[in-house]
Homo-oligomer: A and B are copies of this chain.
Amino acid sequence: MSGTMSPRQASAAVLVGLLAAVSLGLITILSVWKLKQFKYGLKINETGGAMFYGMLLGLIVRCLSFDRGVHVENMESVCSCGALNSTPYIFMVNISSHGHCYRQDLNQRCPPISTPHMDIFDLEVLFNLFLPPIIFHGAYTLNQKRFIGNLGSVLTFAFLGTIISCMTIGACVYGFTRLMVLLGRAADGDFSLTDCLLFGAIMSATDPVSVLGLLSELRVDLDLHTLLFGESVLNDAVAIVLTHAIYTYSQMGAGHTFDPPAFLHSVCYFLGVLAGSLLLGFIFTVITALLTKFTRLHESPLLETSVLFLLSWSSFLSAEASGLSGIVAMLFCGLSQARYTIHNLSSEGRTRTKQLFEVFNFLGEIFIFSYMGYVLLMFPDHVFKALFISGAFLSIFISRACNVYPLSFLLNLGRTNKIPSAYQHFMMFAGLRGAVALSLAVRDTSTEVRRTILTTTLLLVCFTIWVLGTAAEPMLRHLNIRVGVDAEENPEEDLPFERRPPTRTPPTLPAPVPSSPPSRLFHLLIWPHSYLHTVNGTRSGQLPGVMRPEGQTE
């Protein structure tokens, strides 16, 4: 009715957009679910399906609006306003009998002309709304015991691995850009090393959303799950901060030569943002934990859930607003909420929180990926550079290999439960890229180089999600890795590995004993539970004083 009563086209556009999103979501859910029921059908998951339908919609909209492009040619008739010597705040234009007012403020100003005026703003809003619950859900439902057990390896892959990956992709792509210059496909100086490293950092973010989709679909062995998912979640944090550090470095004018002060500044920035975001996420957990411990909030599961949801989301928003990384803050908030706050919730509150985030995660995933597919086809200024794209495709495999195999070898020297080679092959294979890589690539599309990066990122995201994502199940079978493990209902989860009943495929990983026991400082960080969580023996049926990680209580 809003459309007709007073013709607010803006509101109508939002309405149509929402309707399109909801319809895409429905079609994705139903068709992917139907596809999964065929035994020999395509084992595509929701992210891939959503992206496909998004692209289809983009194609349709593009075809339909093709002949409407004539509007833009009006530009020539615009006269110059010589009397203006500053940017006006309000801009009034008298055209025939209508008065129009163009206001330049935070909301209604177009980006500078050189930037393609596309739905990038919308995409950021979408990320602000849907990424936090997805990241939170991933961290919140991560099996805490396994995570702590594999923490050393996860951190190694996430930190060292991401830096290796960034360097390798950067070097490899830089090689290809030199080849482009040699072949005359690009001018010398078009692509600096910093640009290539930036691309490397962007492409190092393996996507927790699609990796999680893949893993929970196949329900692989819990240790492999923890390694892969823990890595993909934490390396986002590293990749985001790394991208920003490289960006800062290049902004400081150090494009082509090495500039030690700028480099030092970037490194400090990297560490500062990382530490700040971790701290912020933890602060919000402390607030939630204290609030749920010392008040009678647990009497109303609805309030518990709402407060937990709002406080966790606040950690993301505060971090973004204060120039830190929201995803890192949200991630650490999720991890620590699952460690401390969850024990203070009533059992209904616990289930509700999990289910709420599950729905948000599921729908958010679908919306984000369908929108990504849509943007891929609707973005008007794609720059396809065949050599750059081939270089990028090659580099992500090389970098993944340089990341997984050497690090696994090094880790296996210290681990009592080695990472078997089958796992290494699968980890090499499972580096899907997704929303975070895109959100990094989309943030600056002002130059041709940046638009080349965006186009290439979109293509790589599509490729990894569709090809690698669909091939994951046959790959697992081929590698003899057991699937169909249920993380929550697994009765033998607490048993040592040797005493577990045999499963479909023979287990290949020994008992999950922490390979390198966490240090004393780390202990203090990870187990200050007596201050933050009550054990609530009476409420959840546990014995008071016994600390039980989340995976066991559920």
Query: Interface of A with B (CB < 8 Å)?
Result: 1-6, 8-16, 18-19, 22-23, 25-26, 29-30, 33, 37, 71-72, 74-75, 77-96, 98-104, 106-114, 117, 121, 124-125, 128-129, 240, 244, 247, 273, 291, 296-297, 300, 302-303, 305-307, 309-311, 313-314, 317-321, 323-326, 352, 355-356, 358-359, 362-363, 443-444, 446
Report A82 CB to chain B, min CB distance, Å.
7
Are A86 and B74 CB-contacts (below 8 A) given A128-B18, A363-B306? Answer: yes
Query: Which residues of chain B have C-beta atoms less than 8 A from A92's C-beta?
Result: 75, 78, 113
How many copies of this protein are present in the complex? 2
Q: Are A101 and B112 within 8 A (Cβ)?
A: yes
Are A33 and B1 CB-contacts (below 8 A) given A89-B74, A321-B19? Answer: no
Q: Are B320 and A1 within 8 A (Cβ)?
A: yes
Query: Which residues of chain B have C-beta atoms less than 8 A from A240's C-beta?
Result: 1
Q: Are B86 and A99 within 8 A (Cβ)?
A: no
**Partner pick for A11 among B5, B16, B125, B306, CB 8 A cutoff:** B125
Q: Are A11 and B124 within 8 A (Cβ)?
A: yes
Q: Are B107 and A10 within 8 A (Cβ)?
A: yes
Are A78 and B91 CB-contacts (below 8 A) given A302-B362, A307-B30, A320-B15? Answer: yes
Interface secondary structure of A, over-half rule: helix
A319 CA to B18 CA in the complex, in Å?
Answer: 13
**Partner pick for A125 among B5, B14, B310, B363, CB 8 A cutoff:** B14
Report A89 CB to chain B, min CB distance, Å.
4
Are A124 and B8 CB-contacts (below 8 A) given A1-B240, A1-B326? Answer: yes
Q: Are A109 and B113 within 8 A (Cβ)?
A: no
Q: Are A446 and B79 within 8 A (Cβ)?
A: no
Query: Which residues of chain B have C-beta atoms less than 8 A from A16's C-beta?
Result: 321
**Partner pick for A100 among B74, B77, B110, CB 8 A cutoff:** B110
Q: Are B84 and A82 within 8 A (Cβ)?
A: no
Chain B residue at minimal CB-CB distance from A348: B355
Query: Which residues of chain B have C-beta atoms less than 8 A from A29's C-beta?
Result: 303, 306-307, 310
| Cross-chain pairs A/B with CB under 8 angstroms, 14 sampled | A1-B319, A2-B320, A4-B244, A11-B125, A11-B128, A15-B128, A26-B310, A26-B314, A29-B310, A72-B89, A77-B88, A78-B91, A103-B117, A356-B359
**Partner pick for A352 among B30, B98, B117, B355, CB 8 A cutoff:** B355
Query: Which residues of chain B have C-beta atoms less than 8 A from A87's C-beta?
Result: 95, 98, 100
Q: Are B113 and A33 within 8 A (Cβ)?
A: no
Query: Which residues of chain B have C-beta atoms less than 8 A from A320's C-beta?
Result: 1-3, 15
Q: Are B99 and A102 within 8 A (Cβ)?
A: no
Q: Are A444 and B314 within 8 A (Cβ)?
A: no
Q: Are A100 and B90 within 8 A (Cβ)?
A: no
